[in-house]
Structure 1
Amino acid sequence: MNYTLKKSLGQHFLKDENVCRNIVAELTKCPFKNLVEVGPGGGALTKYLLQLPDVHFKAVELDEEKVTYLKHTYPQLQDKIIHQSILDVGKPFQDRFTVVGNFPYNISTQIVFKILEWKDDVECMVGMFQKEVAQRIAAKEGSKVYGVTSVLVQAYFDVVYLFEVSEQSFTPPPKVKSAVIKLLPRKESIAVKSDKAFFSLVKTAFQQRRKTMRNACKSLFSPEVLQQDIFAKRAEQLSVTDFAQLSFQMQ
């Protein structure tokens, strides 16, 4: 049974067995009972994941043709596939769970925000991203690619940039390089005023990243607070901890 590749869904399927094995090896360094794979596609990773002992496995796949193919090829998947977009799925398990996937590149940043929604329940994530997106998630302050995604993810997770993957590892080869990263809940959590306030501050600060914080965020703080020295800096110069601490001073 064959399947077609759909450009509209950003489908580039992994065919390199070594890369698949490396992803699974990284995944199994974190103990877990519940695992959800995002975008299994042709099942390159899935066939390895199904061999993991004592794991409750689910896969989220939007493309009906791939769902049919997977159920046909791996009969044990019959009742384990959630036929929806990951962006529309409710929490896949009641208890804590781990996420893995060769994420569709056209929605990979949105998938990261979905994981942030589930942050209290996600105990580990190993994911393949377009290299630029992976670099952005892992970037530190002062870097040109440090931005909203970097700060929001790093406030809740430790980011490990694992390895890069060449275009030739996929069918069809994408026009971009790829990289695999791991997210683990922060060992030392950072306190924020509230998730809502923190997200609002970070997004507002980076919307006008060329401006100083004083100009970019003047609607969020009182004139007295804005006199502090830190507001003379630009958003990309502030650490994740700086943003977290500032959130407590918001109006």
Structure 2
Amino acid sequence: MAGGKIQKKRHGAGTGGGGARLQGGIPFEKSKGQHILRNPALVDSIVAKAGLKPTDTVLEIGPGTGNLTKRLLEAGVKAVVAVELDPRMVLELNRRFQGHPLSSRLKVIQGDVLKCDLPYFDICVANIPYQISSPLTFKLLSHRPIFRCAVIMFQREFAMRLVAQPGDSLYCRLSVNVQLLSRVSHLLKVGRNNFRPPPKVDSSVVRIEPRKPLPPVSFKEWDGLVRICFNWKNKTLGSLFKQKRVLELLEKNYKIMQSLQLAQDAEMGEEKMSADDVALLANMVEDLSMETPDEKEDDEMEMDDSDMGGDGGTSFKEKIMGILQQGDFAEKRGSKLSQVDFLYLLSLFNKAGIHFS
């Protein structure tokens, strides 16, 4: 199923005189993102691009009436596990595949995909309700064991944020975090008229391949840095890191690390992103939604020109500025930085004993 930003209707409300309904007369609920993909050629194309193998267990999310489910089963995979929230759709699926020669390969789970424990799967192929795009993406990326890939249809703008590159207008914190954990590629654009009923937006199919192994970085550290850089993504890093609240946070972390006498250079060099670390992504959904906050005006940025006094008489602010200048980052902007740039900048801060968590 798929859905755009459409106003919710009361649970169980009909769709009106010309509203779309299931074969049994059950109305679709737009509030649940129930927009059924009705173009058979498009369904076939999605399955073909998934690169399925006979040994694959496929996870399908929001199967709806089972158009994609049927193609997945016919592709000769080992099993299809379909997770569906709407009990009416579960009944429809069971009725449709009852007595089907491949029905033994299908398992239907009724429940909220964001709340239930996902079973083992090799690949995810899904046409999802768009309102769960962000939390679902990060739930999949935190799933263990790591799956091979996911081929998912998203609202087009969300998909374009996932694949955006440095300098693109849609490049944001969502782009940076997803691309840290996976390789993302755009597969095809899907017009709204391929659905019944048509949503108000176009869609895109995206391929997400989790990185194996995960990058050798603490995600807490990574996101702390990226969060600062994208608060005002078109401001220079030199301006961002002069903010009083940023300096106070970093100096507090700096003093804590010093007091604990941790050998940070050695430890951070060995630190890896753990499954628990990645799982923190699930709690960041509200910050990583498709919508990005409006840029704040210059006069809203609380700057600090005082001596923070955090390094034996040397201004802590000067210490921070020195790190930025060392990597030639002071005049650069977060919206222009690549994954390699962020990793390098984080390593410079960490080597100087500056941490973001």
Q: Same fold (TM over 0.5)?
A: yes
Q: Indicate yes or no: 2:140 matched with 1:41.
A: no
Identical residues among aligned pairs (%): 34
State how far apart, in whole Å, the 1-side matches of 2:143 and 2:128 are: 17
- Per-residue displacement from partner, 1:113-165 (whole Å, max 9, x unpaired)? 11221275121010101111111100100111011221111112221211101
More strand by share: 1
The letter of the residue matching 1:205 is C
Q: TM-score, normalised by structure 2?
A: 0.63
The letter of the residue matching 2:123 is T
What RMSD, in angstroms, separates the aligned Cα atoms of the two structures?
2.4
Q: Indicate yes or no: 2:298 matched with 1:199.
A: no
Q: After the TM superposition, which residues 59-74 of structure 1 pair with which residues of structure 2 at under 5 Å, given as runs? A: 59-74=82-97
Q: Quickly say closer, same or farther: Cα 1:226–1:3, change in 2 above 3 A.
A: farther
- Per-residue displacement from partner, 1:89-133 (whole Å, max 9, x unpaired)? 22321xx52111111111112211112212751210101011111
What is the SS of the residue equivalent to 1:80? strand
Q: Quickly say closer, same or farther: Cα 1:56–1:220, change in 2 above 3 A.
A: farther
Q: TM-score, normalised by structure 1?
A: 0.88
Give the CA deviation at 1:193. 2.4
The letter of the residue matching 1:24 is V
Q: Indicate yes or no: 2:175 matched with 1:156.
A: no
Which of 62, 76, 90 is residue 117 of structure 2 equivalent to? Answer: 90
| Contact 2:79/2:106 (8 A) holds in 1 | no
The letter of the residue matching 1:179 is S
The letter of the residue matching 2:114 is L
State how far apart, in whole Å, the 2-side matches of 1:239 and 1:37 are: 32
The letter of the residue matching 2:27 is T
What is the SS of the residue equivalent to 1:174? coil
State how far apart, in whole Å, the 2-side matches of 1:78 and 1:32 are: 12
- Per-residue displacement from partner, 1:5-64 (whole Å, max 9, x unpaired)? 111112211000011000000112577522100111121201111223242220111111
Q: Indicate yes or no: 2:118 matched with 1:19.
A: no
Q: Quickly say closer, same or farther: Cα 1:138–1:31, change in 2 above 3 A.
A: farther
The letter of the residue matching 1:21 is D
State how far apart, in whole Å, the 2-side matches of 1:235 and 1:119 are: 31
State how far apart, in whole Å, the 2-side matches of 1:120 and 1:242 are: 29
| Contact 1:148/1:203 (8 A) holds in 2 | yes
| Contact 1:138/1:159 (8 A) holds in 2 | yes
Give the CA deviation at 1:82. 1.8
State how far apart, in whole Å, the 1-side matches of 2:344 and 2:229 are: 14
State how far apart, in whole Å, the 2-side matches of 1:127 and 1:54 are: 18
State how far apart, in whole Å, the 2-side matches of 1:211 and 1:32 are: 49
Give the CA deviation at 1:216. 3.8
What is the SS of the residue equivalent to 1:182? strand
| Contact 1:192/1:245 (8 A) holds in 2 | no
Q: Quickly say closer, same or farther: Cα 1:148–1:58, change in 2 above 3 A.
A: same
State how far apart, in whole Å, the 2-side matches of 1:165 and 1:26 are: 14
Displaced runs of 4+ in structure 1, greater than 6 A? none
Q: Which moved more, 1:175-184 or 1:84-93?
A: 84-93
The letter of the residue matching 1:58 is V
Unpaired runs of 5+ in structure 1? none
| Contact 1:70/1:77 (8 A) holds in 2 | no
Give the CA deviation at 1:208. 2.6
The letter of the residue matching 1:238 is L
The letter of the residue matching 1:17 is P
Q: Quickly say closer, same or farther: Cα 1:54–1:166, change in 2 above 3 A.
A: closer
Larger Rg: 2
Aligned length: 248
Give the CA deviation at 1:190. 6.4
Give the CA deviation at 1:244. 2.6
State how far apart, in whole Å, the 2-side matches of 1:30 and 1:145 are: 34
What is the SS of the residue equivalent to 1:207? coil
What is the SS of the residue equivalent to 1:232? coil
Unpaired runs of 5+ in structure 2? 1-23, 255-316
The letter of the residue matching 2:334 is A
